């Protein structure tokens, strides 16, 4: 491994001398012995050739040729082959994070097109160029609401993705925002329990997810109540569901967030993901991340540039709207290519097929005596079985990932356009 070490013994001695330390041991002397790693239980070193063979043999143990009914935030949608070919062109595939408005016009145009598509789907006026993932987008939306309203309490549905909850807790604890959880009842948010709280005018926002973590479509009738108390509504949505469900603008959302993984991004054992944030025009100056705009240059030609944000977003952290000043450019590019290739008709077809398969599977399971616990759902639903572990194990023996175990008797099942009629029948055998 010496070939890969950046510093020689001579360079290390110079570094130690420059900070008035004689040895590496002296450098680390202030770290208590009990906090140090005594030894690493590592195997003997291998050559590069041996490592490659070893890694390949391990990779062969991964079984990716399975029938998938797993959802819970990552979905197995069809990805056109040309997305990878275009996204891996050297113009796009780079580790460089461009901060300034002088980014290449092509990169800026992709950001602008992505933002435009997100606005079209959500009904919002402005979108950013993406954030890290859906969980981050939720947490950032709460922080954004607190800055706008100068209120440091937020109501959050307990029926949102558990991973999103953890990120929200981390963000809001650091920002001094108190979270109160709205209880869940029959796999949906119990809005009846919050009326008196909202009327108090103490809360910056309400955040809900629809379809929620359990797949249930939330009935959102909060506009009058929220407007009266000047409380913002943050909607976390499955972006693919907007092909067939109401746009968030129609039920009064002020900020819309979510994950763009369903838009041409593979499940990839958990990543990468990308998040989006969109809002009404009056709130846009508090929108974190980057925003690309379209204008004309001095000669009247179309030009794209980063816009709206102040320099503090990138330089003075204490005055920035967020610590996010970058975006998931490559993931957003894939999402933009996906939506472009499918078009409005193709995207709607994906949503219809995904939902149709879910309802068909639910009906088939019902005939076998397996109850679906959701009332209304899009492409994901909860079933109740006598023994969740046994049920999923039996499906695994048929090369089927049957869903996500919620507890001893409940399983969260998802379908997409990738699930054929034959797969649905096999699931129910």
Instruction: Render pLDDT for 188-217 as a digit per residue (tens, 0 to 9).
Output: 999 988 988 999 999 999 999 999 999 999
Q: Do 288 and 231 fall within a single domain?
A: yes
CATH for 363 = 3.90.1150.10
Single out the residue of 225, 217, 258 nearest to residue 355, CA to CA: 217
Residue 6 lies in a domain: no
**Contacts (Cβ under 8 Å, ≥6 apart) of 266:** 79
The CB density around residue 312, as the number of other CB atoms within 10 Å, is 13
Give the H or E element holding residue 362: helix 329-367
Based on the fold, state whether residues 293 and 349 are members of the same structural domain.
no
Whether 15 is in a domain gets the answer: no
Q: What is the pLDDT of residues 251-262, one digit of tens each?
A: 999 999 999 999
Average pLDDT over residues 104-119: 91
Q: Which of 1-15, 32-46, 356-370 has the highest mean pLDDT?
A: 356-370
Whether residues 414 and 321 fall in one domain = no
304 with 233, same domain: the answer is yes
Entry pTM: 0.86
Number of compact structural domains in the chain: 2
Mean residue pLDDT of the chain comes to 91
318 pLDDT exceeds 80? no
Residues 319 and 388 in one domain: no
- Check residue 29 and report its DSSP letter: T
3-class secondary-structure state, position 47: coil
Give yes or no: residues 193 and 283 share one domain.
Answer: yes
Q: Residue 282 maps to which CATH number? A: 3.40.640.10
Q: Is the predicted pLDDT of residue 235 greater than 60, yes or no?
A: yes
Contacts of residues 312-319 at CB distance under 8 Å and 24 or more positions apart, as own/partner, are 313/288, 314/99
> And the tokens for 225?
């109540």
Query: For residue 1, is pLDDT > 50?
Result: no
Q: Mean of the pLDDT values across residues 154-163?
A: 97
Domain boundary among 285, 308, 337: 337
**CA pair distance 220, 189, nearest whole angstrom:** 10
331/354 same-domain check: no
Tell me the mean pLDDT in the region 414-428. Answer: 97
The crossing angle, in degrees rounded to 10, of helices 162-175 and 134-149 is: 40
Task: Report whether pLDDT(351) > 80.
Answer: yes
Residues 290, 366, single domain; the answer is no
Segments forming the whole domain that contains residue 127: 81-337
CA pair distance 412, 426, nearest whole angstrom = 17
Banded pLDDT at 90 (limits 50, 70, 90): confident
pLDDT tens digit sequence for 284-303: 999 998 889 999 989 999 98
**3: Cα separation from own chain's centroid:** 39
- What's the confidence (pLDDT) of residue 322? 76
Top pLDDT among 323 and 296 is at: 296
179 falls within a domain: yes
| Residues in a beta bridge with 387 | none
Q: Can you say whether the dihedral through the CA atoms of 375, 157, 212, 236 is positive or negative?
A: positive
| Range scoring the smallest mean pLDDT among 113-117, 259-263, 277-281, 305-309 | 305-309
Core vs surface per residue 213-248: b (16+ CB within 10 A) or e: bbbbbbebebeebbeebebbbbbbbbbbbbbbbebb
Q: How far apart are CA 298 and CA 143, in angstroms?
A: 38
């Amino acid at each position: 491994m010496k070939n890969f070490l950046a510093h020689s013994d001579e360079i290390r001695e110079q570094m130690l001398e420059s900070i008035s330390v004689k040895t590496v041991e002296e450098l680390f002397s202030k770290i208590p012995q009990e906090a140090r790693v005594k030894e690493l239980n590592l195997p003997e070193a291998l050559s590069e050739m041996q490592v490659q063979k070893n890694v390949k043999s391990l990779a062969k143990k991964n079984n990716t040729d399975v029938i998938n009914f797993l959802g819970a935030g990552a979905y197995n949608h069809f990805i056109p082959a040309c997305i990878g070919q275009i996204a891996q062109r050297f113009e796009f595939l780079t580790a460089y994070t461009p901060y300034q408005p002088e980014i290449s016009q092509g990169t800026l145009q992709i950001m602008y097109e992505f933002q435009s598509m997100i606005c079209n789907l959500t009904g919002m006026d402005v979108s950013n160029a993406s954030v890290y993932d859906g969980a981050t987008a939720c947490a950032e939306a709460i922080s954004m609401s607190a800055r706008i309203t100068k209120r440091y309490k937020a109501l959050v549905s307990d029926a949102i993705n558990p991973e999103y909850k953890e990120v929200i807790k981390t963000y809001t604890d650091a920002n001094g925002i108190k979270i109160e959880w709205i209880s869940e009842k029959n796999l949906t948010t119990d809005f009846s329990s919050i009326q008196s709280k909202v009327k108090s005018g103490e809360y910056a926002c309400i955040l809900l997810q629809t379809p929620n973590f359990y797949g249930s479509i939330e009935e959102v009738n909060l506009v009058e109540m929220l407007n009266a108390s000047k409380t913002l509504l943050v909607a976390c949505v499955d972006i693919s569901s907007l092909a067939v469900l109401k746009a968030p603008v129609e039920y009064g959302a002020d900020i819309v967030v979510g994950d763009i993984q369903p838009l041409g991004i593979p499940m990839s054992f958990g990543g990468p993901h990308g998040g989006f944030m969109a809002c009404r025009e009056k709130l846009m100056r508090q929108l974190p991340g980057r925003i690309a705009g379209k204008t004309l240059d001095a000669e009247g030609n179309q030009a794209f540039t980063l816009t709206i944000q102040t320099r503090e977003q990138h330089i003075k952290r204490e005055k920035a709207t967020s610590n996010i000043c970058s975006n998931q450019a490559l993931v957003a590019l894939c999402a933009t290519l996906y939506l472009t290739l499918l078009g409005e008709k193709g995207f709607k077809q994906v949503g219809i097929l995904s939902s149709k398969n879910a309802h068909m599977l639910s009906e088939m399971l019902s005939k076998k005596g397996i109850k679906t616990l959701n009332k209304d759902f899009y492409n994901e639903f909860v079933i109740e079985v006598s023994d969740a572990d046994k049920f999923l194990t039996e499906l695994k023996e048929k090369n089927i990932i049957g869903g996500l175990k919620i507890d001893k008797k409940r399983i969260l099942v998802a379908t997409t356009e990738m699930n054929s009629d034959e797969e649905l029948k096999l699931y129910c055998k």
